[in-house]
Amino acid sequence: MPLYSLQHLSPTAVLGLWHLTETPAELWPLLPQPEAYQALLPAKTDARRQAQWLGGRVLLHRLLSETLPDLAAEILVQNDNTGRPWLAGAGPGPTVSLSHSGTWVAAILAQDGRAGVDVEEIRDKAHRLASKFLAADEWAAAQAASQAGLNDASTHYSLLWSAKETLYKLSAQRGIIFKTQLLLGEFEPRESGEIPATLVLNGLQTRHCICYSQPAPGYVLTYCHEPHA
């Protein structure tokens, strides 16, 4: 299906969602420079992962056509040696963040600042692994919220994991310890809202705000864009 939604987060940043229903064969014609992308396609990917990989690049090119129409067809979405996506041919300004899970793809294209986005299929895996990525106070707050019936446990823990993934992408660094360096403050779970967050990096603490929503039943979305001051 075509672009599901497009949301301007600021005058310089746009968030796009794509509901992935296409096969890889249907996605290839939607990309500019398909030969170049064929060379970049990760080896040994099955059809589902190929569709997610292609869908992410199709979505970013749709966002590029909205924001950089003169360059959109000439830009290639590549990955650096840490796995983060970047735009070859776009110059030093724009930044991107990309995520996919199940049948959904999410992307942010920002002309300045930094950005992070994550979409997650709701599963019980995050609940099972909560002690590995949540600080003690975060885990206690999550357990209290579940016991009070404020949110389905699988949904709540998937949201917490997604929020930390977005904060991790915002940090733009490898080797981050989710449990001690990506910290989430208290919030009242709703269908959409904001989560206060703290990034502990290089001996400094910085404050951030992670937005969240449920784009479709069974999925959570988190994102953050911080333009330059």
CATH fold label, 5-112: Ribosomal Protein L22; Chain A (3.90.470)
Per-residue tokens: 201? 């990096």
Q: How far apart are CA 113 and CA 93, in angstroms?
A: 9
What pLDDT does residue 149 have?
67
What pLDDT does residue 209 have?
97
User: How many CB atoms neighbour CB 118 within 10 A?
Assistant: 26
What pLDDT does residue 106 have?
98
Work out the angle at residue 34's Cα, subtended by the Cα atoms of residues 31 and 35, and round it to the nearest 5 degrees: 170
Q: List the domain boundaries for the chain.
A: 5-112, 120-226
What pLDDT does residue 1 have?
55
What pLDDT does residue 45 have?
82
Per-residue tokens: 156? 């709540």
pTM recorded for the entire structure: 0.95
What pLDDT does residue 57 have?
96
Collect all residues with Cβ–Cβ distance below 8 Å to 31 and sequence separation of at least 6: 37, 54, 57, 58, 61
Enumerate residue ranges in the chain where pLDDT < 50.
Answer: none
SS (H, E, C) the chain: CCCCEEEEEECCEEEEEEECCCCHHHHHHHCCCHHHHHHHCCCCCCHHHHHHHHHHHHHHHHHHHHHCCCCCCCCEEEECCCCCEEEECCCCCCEEEEEEECCEEEEEEECCCEEEEEEEECCCHHHHCHHHHCCHHHHHHHHHHHHCCCCCHHHHHHHHHHHHHHHHHHHCCCCCCHHHHEEECCCCCCCCEEEEEEEEECCEEEEEEEEEECCCCCEEEEEEEECCC
pLDDT tens across 195-205, in order?
Answer: 999 999 988 99
